[in-house]
Structure 1
């Protein structure tokens, strides 16, 4: 069998999808049982991990939050998924758990300690989605900080991740934790040390106070598709989340892997996961009816608000019959969803709004019965060279239709693996026998390999 596809499930802590539909349950996001039930279903359905997007931003138009965002729950509200990941670990055994933390907001020692704690609490099933943030204009307002220039945010992220890796990999040798009450020794002082870091944006001399978990470093995810985002992914990421149409996905994946070679890494060690929106029914007609109902819950005003969140640009103030001005690509809020609409065949502003009304930031959905969407999935995977999907919630705000209709078809075709015995998330994603970073990853160099204890 070819390498099985990796299947992750995408969520955030807030209303998701067409929450206005009576069958959508995502307004229950404040209830812990909503999430424990979902985690159990993800594990039972054969998903590799549950992925939580997160940020501190919200839409801002004309110096304030637009009423449409509040009325329509457009990129608002949002809760903190890191608060309940340990509870999800208790009700699952195989499922990986990936959380987003921003390198603009969270300082490196904070991220390092949180991730080390969660890696212990989940028995090595934790991943960190590295982002510089989303809705940057709002986030800067919220924290009372100036808006940081786009490319500089990625320079900060590079230094941030580098310091985190030093803390995870350099402070504690393997076997340094003894915990022997008879001798009174918890940790061997000869094998625990402070690290020093003097980077362009962060300085540190200190120790990771939490002993490392099974993976030491969490599995590193990244989701930025701009040129600077792809370079950060090529340097550090073990999995990358991409959302675009197939030709752009193919180009992005090839570029990331080419850049990875430039960083001395095996390009195939980075798992490229594409946004998978599956609108599936017993028949194609059933699926299309679901799709029509989904689209009907979103207005062009909602689309303009969503677009402003990701880019900082107000399409409602632009000529609807003209394409975006190329100077819009210099926005400092976010560039991925500007760059995708530029070029010789650039759509008009009205067409961009209509695209966001239908699909938001995700690519064209797979619509049909289980066999039809599986056929389309195989075509996209073969064309792009991707490694799997990060599946978007369906019209109910859950993944029920995917697990009931799509996964059995994938399994019958030999496209996904059986769960097997519980492992760390890194082993599950990469197939490695080791739970730790591979030797060609930059973080590996910070291990004190000569001092490993027997």
Structure 2
């Protein structure tokens, strides 16, 4: 029997995330992004509606200039202002029971020791429902915000991420042995020092003594998400990720990427099923196809395509603000998001993509329009291509998710495309993979017991 799809709500604590300009729509509440009650209410609805995860994207800098400057981003709310999702997750944790809580963060933002402590604390608060989207950051402004002269080269950023996660794995998996925390009132011993270890990491970028200050959380290491589609990004994902977000233009291209990444995972000593793939899609739902097409027409007139171009081009590190829609985009060498250009080429086989194609890639390529039954038909194709889950993009909050839960989910459940109930109880990893902790094939597992021979007084 084919397993049901998993569903993630793709959001950001900002007025305009993916479908730009929709903050102006009367039906949406994105303008209330500063109000914690908006997010608590949405998380509760997702929790009750069968979603596995609410996933927060994030940036720590402005996108590349558009029309020669950054005024456009401020005027239009292009992912600015944006708030720290890690802070918000604490509020969502105590208002939900089953929903996984995922956030995005890059090494440039915070040293690994303190990051590990914050994540472990969140995993305790949520009783094991935390996930981290491992990114490198692609904004030159972000790197300048943290004291760098500009954007670190693409492959060097992944080398940096490799060491960053290595430190984290040592802290999360190796610093505290199982059974170290005793909390024995009679003996007065809270933890066994022989089972708590310093990690003594010394690398190119970090020198971390340890030990980890937080006792092991339910998952120890949070569920690990990643979204890189460049060759370097795929290699990192194949070694480290448990779930990968993709934005393939069609099921066939998704199949190719999934098969290639699973092959790389096996080459790195893992099993192909150790990684789940989530395709990003958004939905225009109608009781009839005619109604859905009318809603699509109305949506097209609300989307701000200048913002769509500014977002996509800005992520790649280029300014297309003065280009016409028919301007061809030749082979782009960029230190920004390389995967965007790769998807762009794949969505326009046999010809050179244009600026118009770039706008469509964000606004239309990953759109499914129709009745709940028609949407279910399409999701079957994605599942058959090897996709494990859907990262549901919104036009409005909370409307897009309420519509999906109320109208589409019942049809998906009838077809076995969505699970009934909440699935396995416990941690997010248990829900998705059947176990609370990383399996022994993951590179983090090598640090379990690795520091036991070191004296606790060192």
Asked if TM exceeds 0.5, the reply is yes
Shift of 1:339: 2.4
| Aligned residue number for residue 11 of structure 2 | 11
CA contact (8 A) 1:101 1:111 kept: no
* 1:226 is the counterpart of 2:227: no
> Following TM superposition, by how much is the alpha carbon of 1:64 offset from its aligned partner in structure 2, in angstroms?
6.6
**C-alpha displacement at 1:318, in angstroms?**
4.4
- Deviation sequence 1:39-76 (CA, Å, 0-9, x none): 11001101111111112122231697533322322232
Look up the SS of the partner of 1:340 in the other structure: helix
Q: Name the Cα RMSD after superposition.
A: 2.1
1:5-404 to 2 correspondences below 5 Å = 5-16=5-16, 17=19, 18-61=22-65, 65-134=69-138, 136-146=139-149, 147-246=151-250, 247-318=252-323, 320-326=325-331, 328=332, 330-342=333-345, 345-356=350-361, 358-359=363-364, 363-382=365-384, 384-398=385-399, 399-404=401-406
- Find the residue that maps to 2:24 and give its secondary structure: coil
Please identify, of 205-214 and 295-304, the stretch whose mean Cα deviation from structure 2 is larger: 295-304
| Distance apart, 1:354 and its partner CA | 3.8
Q: TM-score, normalized by length of structure 2?
A: 0.91
CA distance in 1, matches of 2:100, 2:148: 34
CA contact (8 A) 1:300 1:353 kept: no
Q: Using the alignment, how far apart are the partners of 1:415 and 1:353 within structure 2?
A: 31
| Equivalent-residue separation in structure 2 for 1:393 and 1:321 (angstroms) | 28
Offset at 1:397? 4.7
Distance 1:391 1:300, change over 3 A: closer
Partner of 2:456: none
TM-score, normalised to structure 1's length?
Answer: 0.92
Tell me the distance in 1 between the aligned counterparts of 2:15 and 2:388: 28
User: What SS does the aligned partner of 1:316 have?
Assistant: coil
Q: Write the distance in 1 (CA, Å) between the matches of 2:253 and 2:114.
A: 35
Once the two structures are overlaid, the 10-residue window that deviates more, 299-308 or 185-194, is: 299-308
Q: Summarize the Cα distance change of 1:337–1:397 in structure 2 as closer, same or farther, 3 Å threshold.
A: farther
Separation in 1 of the partners of 2:285 and 2:320? 32
CA contact (8 A) 1:290 1:395 kept: no
Query: Is the contact made by 1:28 and 1:34 (CA closer than 8 Å) also made in structure 2?
Result: yes
Q: Structure 1 185/65 Cα, relative in aligned 2: closer, same or farther at 3 Å?
A: farther
- The CA deviation at 1:450 is 11
1:331 Cα deviation (Å)? 1.0
For residues 96 and 159 of structure 1, do their structure 2 counterparts lie closer, same or farther at Cα, with a shift above 3 Å needed?
same
Task: State whether residues 394 and 401 of structure 1, in contact with CA within 8 Å, keep that contact through their aligned partners in structure 2.
Answer: no
Once residues 408 and 62 of structure 1 are traced to their aligned partners in structure 2, the CA distance between those partners, rounded to angstroms, is: 43
- Write the distance in 1 (CA, Å) between the matches of 2:398 and 2:107: 28
Q: Give the corresponding residue for 2:448.
A: 447
Q: What is the deviation of 1:217? A: 0.6
Inter-partner Cα distance in structure 2 for 1:95 and 1:396: 17
Q: CA deviation at 1:10?
A: 0.8
- 3-state DSSP of counterpart to 1:19: helix
Inter-partner Cα distance in structure 2 for 1:310 and 1:174: 43
Cα distance in 2 for partners of 1:95, 1:260 equals 27
Asked if 1:423 is matched to 2:405, the reply is no
2:455 corresponds in structure 1 to: none
Mapped partners of 1:310, 1:140: distance in 2: 14
Number of residue pairs aligned between Structure 1 and Structure 2: 442
| Whole-angstrom CA distance in 1 between matches of 2:118 and 2:140 | 26
**Structure 1 unaligned spans of 5+:** none
| Alpha carbons 1:237, 1:270 under 8 Å: kept | yes
Moved more, 79-88 or 244-253: 244-253
Distance 1:340 1:22 in 2: 32
- How has the CA–CA distance of structure 1 residues 201 and 345 changed in structure 2, closer, same or farther, with 3 Å as cutoff? farther
Deviation track 1:347-395 (CA, whole Å, cap 9, x = no partner) reads 4433234415734xxx42110110010111111221x211111111243
Residues 226 and 191 of structure 1: CA distance in aligned 2, closer, same or farther (over 3 Å): same
| 1:409 equivalent in structure 2 | 411
Given that 2:64 and 2:318 are in contact with CA atoms closer than 8 Å, whether structure 1 keeps it comes out as no
Asked if 2 retains the 8 angstrom alpha-carbon contact of 1:366 and 1:373, the reply is yes
Q: Contact between 2:98 and 2:425, CA under 8 Å: does it hold in 1? A: yes
What is the rounded CA distance, in whole Å, between the counterparts of 1:411 and 1:47 in structure 2?
12
Query: Residues 108 and 143 of structure 2 are in contact (CA less than 8 Å); yes or no, is this contact kept in structure 1?
Result: no
CA contact (8 A) 2:66 2:320 kept: no
Change (3 A) 1:270 1:15: same
